[in-house]
Amino acid sequence: MRGNRVPCNPETVGWSLPVRRIWLVLLFTGLAVALTVPSTRVILVPAVAVLSAGLAVRGVLTWQPPARAAWWTVTAGVVLLAVGYAISLLDVRRWPDLQRIYPQWYDGLFVAASAVVIVGAIMLLRRIHPTPGSGDLIDALMVAVGLGALVVQWMFGPALATEQAMGVPPLMGVVFPLASVVLLTAVARVILTGALLNKTMWLLAATVMVAVLSDILRARQAAAGMLPYDSFSAAFSVVKMALFAAAVMTPDMADPRLYALARTTMRSRTRLMTVVALGYAGPAILTVLYLMDRPIDPRIPIVATALILGLAVLRIDGLLRRFEHRATHDPLTDVLDHATFLQEALALAAGGNPFTRTDRRRDSDGDWYLGVLDLDGFKALNDSHGHLVGDEVLVVAARRLRSALRGEDTVGRLGGDEFGLLFRDRDPEPVARRMIDNLSAPIAVGGVRIQVSASLGVSRLQVDHANPEAAVRMAMRRADDAMYSVKGTQESFAMDAL
């Protein structure tokens, strides 16, 4: 199956640690010579680029990490960069002074490569230490936008401040800063979520920082209309490729812990201060420099501040929604808590819509029913396997109950291993059977397969405008009695005769 592929054994494919070290020595030796000896850059820069791309492909093929699509996307961007460097080498004969005019047709490959890397980086952001909400990503994006304002200023600020042409095509003027913002978002998210810092993550962080710096240098050169083959920035531009190749050559990229749910270690107050300080640092610095009559385009800090404020509004809205959700839902199973479930039942018994729902079906779609479901033998399961296994069983059971019902129906946790159900149908028996069948499949927890059975009682929820509390109490009692009537029998559910 696609999700269960086993990584290759590096020893059997000629990719052992000594072999990888030899390739890394060759790669970084060539890079060091290119950085220090200008006369070698014409040949060594594309050579390092091509070698980096080849090693990156080999690394992903060998380790086959969980987020393969994301890694392959980023690697495809690196390969496109290598192709661009190789073509530029073939074009060197046209420029005897090693100063080529910018842009050339193959510069489109560099733009395309940046766009592919942006897509791959976004995919990796969603797979490495995922989080249930978007809060971490918004925080990281706020930081990246603030720092990205500095990047835009360093790239194009002087030209924008004097209302001169940027010297690069509009698409390139968008892609380069956007790539920097996306990459900075990735680094900021690692810092804020306390991600696993193994060799791959350290090398990726270094890759991002070097990529941002090299893009600034190349963008400033491109704005001047000339790109020297033998400049330091030309050699520095392939450092990011070598670092990325090193990152994917280590088996740490396939470490399952890297793709586990994030567990934020930074305290909320510290996190807030960090986001505010880093997010507004860029616009604040640019504003101060503008007031000092430096060549700063005031639109850059203004736009960055507006974007950060917009993201802050989204973040606050998300926090309020999360607080509201926590106030009405069980923290373990994420279904309605006991009190909110009863409020839903009371609203239905009064003839109205439950306050957490607005998309109710027509009365002709059937009556409302109240169910009480209890997991059989749950105490013995807790005693034999421990509470952590028991908690996971409850989580899976709640998820399966939700999947057995329609979107407008309701699941609540009444306490312990007991769940409450509110659903509407012409015939409740097929719904009850579907819930029991969903729960009957074994649950794999911690290497143990748990067989779950349940007892379910269902009663019609009568509408009583004058006294909905009495209607709910009666339905709960009848459903509870029906549920206990099947305990110890061959049946799994019972319907109240009412």
Q: What is the pLDDT of residue 61?
A: 93
**Residue range 60-77: average pLDDT?**
93
Task: Give the end of a domain, one of 297, 325, 353.
Answer: 325
**Residue range 231-241: average pLDDT?**
93
Task: Give the end of a domain, one of 301, 325, 349.
Answer: 325
Question: Do 311 and 381 reside in the same domain of the chain?
Answer: no
Q: What is the pLDDT of residue 227?
A: 87
Instruction: Output the six-digit token pair for 150.
Output: 């500095």
Residue 315 is assigned to a structural domain of this protein:
yes
**Most confident among 42-51, 208-217, 314-323, 442-451 (mean pLDDT):** 42-51
Q: Is 288 helix (H, G, I), strand (E, B) or coil?
A: helix
Question: Do 77 and 215 reside in the same domain of the chain?
Answer: yes
Residue 331 is assigned to a structural domain of this protein:
no
Give the whole-angstrom CA distance, residue 260 versus residue 11: 27
Question: Do 314 and 382 reside in the same domain of the chain?
Answer: no
Q: What pLDDT digit, counting tens, does each position of 317-362 carry? A: 888 888 888 889 998 999 999 999 999 999 999 886 654 444 444 4
Residue 279 is assigned to a structural domain of this protein:
yes
Whether the predicted pLDDT of 159 surpasses 70: yes
Strand duo 448-450 + 443-445: pairing? antiparallel
Whether the predicted pLDDT of 45 surpasses 90: yes
Whether the predicted pLDDT of 364 surpasses 60: no
Question: Do 384 and 467 reside in the same domain of the chain?
Answer: yes
Q: Give 415: exposed, middle or buried? Use CB within 10 Å, 0-12, 13-18, 19+.
A: exposed
Sole residue written with tokens 């305990």: 487
Residue 55 is assigned to a structural domain of this protein:
yes
Whether the predicted pLDDT of 428 surpasses 80: yes
Least confident of 302-306, 328-332, 418-422: 328-332
Give the whole-angstrom CA distance, residue 100 versus residue 11: 45
Task: Give the end of a domain, one of 325, 351, 370.
Answer: 325
Residue 412 is assigned to a structural domain of this protein:
yes
| Cβ–Cβ < 8 Å for 482, 494 | yes
Question: Do 136 and 165 reside in the same domain of the chain?
Answer: yes
User: Of 494, 216, 237, 236, whose CA–CA distance to 374 is shortest?
Assistant: 494
CA 80 to each of CA 46, 108, 110, 115, 206: distance values in angstroms, whole numbers, following the listed order = 12, 10, 7, 10, 21
Q: What is the pLDDT of residue 359?
A: 46
**DSSP letter at 365?**
G
Q: What pLDDT digit, counting tens, does each position of 257-293 carry? A: 888 877 666 677 788 888 989 899 999 999 999 999 9
| Cβ–Cβ < 8 Å for 344, 354 | yes
| Cβ–Cβ < 8 Å for 221, 155 | no
Question: Do 367 and 264 reside in the same domain of the chain?
Answer: no
**Residue range 69-90: average pLDDT?**
95
Q: Which helix (H) or strand (E) holds 114?
A: helix 107-127
Q: What is the pLDDT of residue 174?
A: 78
Instruction: Output the six-digit token pair for 74.
Output: 């980023």
Whether the predicted pLDDT of 407 surpasses 50: yes
Q: What is the pLDDT of residue 360?
A: 47
Question: Do 315 and 348 reside in the same domain of the chain?
Answer: no
Give the whole-angstrom CA distance, residue 132 versus residue 446: 22
Instruction: Output the six-digit token pair for 300.
Output: 């850059």
Least confident of 96-100, 106-110, 158-162: 158-162
Question: Do 90 and 121 reside in the same domain of the chain?
Answer: yes
**DSSP letter at 5?**
P
User: Of 60, 48, 57, whose CA–CA distance to 24 is shortest?
Assistant: 48
Residue 208 is assigned to a structural domain of this protein:
yes
Domain that holds residue 455: 338-495
The sign of the dihedral angle between the CA atoms of 225, 227, 228, 233 is positive
Please give the share of the chain, as a percent, with pLDDT higher than 90. 51
Q: What is the pLDDT of residue 459?
A: 93
CA 411 to each of CA 6, 50, 74, 336, 461: distance values in angstroms, whole numbers, following the listed order = 39, 56, 42, 6, 15
- Does the pTM surpass 0.85? The reply is no
Residue 415 is assigned to a structural domain of this protein:
yes
Instruction: Specify the CATH number for the domain of residue 449.
Output: 3.30.70.270
Average pLDDT, the chain: 87
Exposed e or buried b for every residue in 60-82, given b needs 16+ CB within 10 A? bbbbebbbbebbbbbbbbbbbbb
Whether the predicted pLDDT of 128 surpasses 90: no
Q: What is the pLDDT of residue 1?
A: 33
Question: Do 172 and 287 reside in the same domain of the chain?
Answer: yes
Report phi then psi at 489, rounded to 5: -110, 180
Q: What is the pLDDT of residue 369?
A: 94
| Cβ–Cβ < 8 Å for 167, 224 | yes
Question: Do 315 and 380 reside in the same domain of the chain?
Answer: no
Give the whole-angstrom CA distance, residue 130 versus residue 140: 13
Question: Do 182 and 204 reside in the same domain of the chain?
Answer: yes
Sole residue written with tokens 């670092």: 243
Give the whole-angstrom CA distance, residue 434 versus residue 429: 9
Whether the predicted pLDDT of 164 surpasses 50: yes
Tally of CB atoms within 10 A around 169: 15
Sole residue written with tokens 């019972």: 494
Residue 333 is assigned to a structural domain of this protein:
no
Which tops the pLDDT comparison, 129 or 235? 235
Question: Do 280 and 357 reside in the same domain of the chain?
Answer: no
Give the whole-angstrom CA distance, residue 241 versus residue 117: 12
Instruction: State the total domains in the chain.
Output: 2
Q: What is the pLDDT of residue 166?
A: 60
Q: Give 121: exposed, middle or buried? Use CB within 10 Å, 0-12, 13-18, 19+.
A: buried
**Residue range 437-442: average pLDDT?**
89
355: Cβ contacts below 8 Å, ≥ 6 apart: 343, 344, 347
The DSSP line for 318-329 is HHHHHHHHHHHB
Whether the predicted pLDDT of 242 surpasses 90: yes
Instruction: Output the six-digit token pair for 224.
Output: 């001047």
CA angle 248, 82, 218 (to 5 degrees): 100
Sole residue written with tokens 């054994």: 9
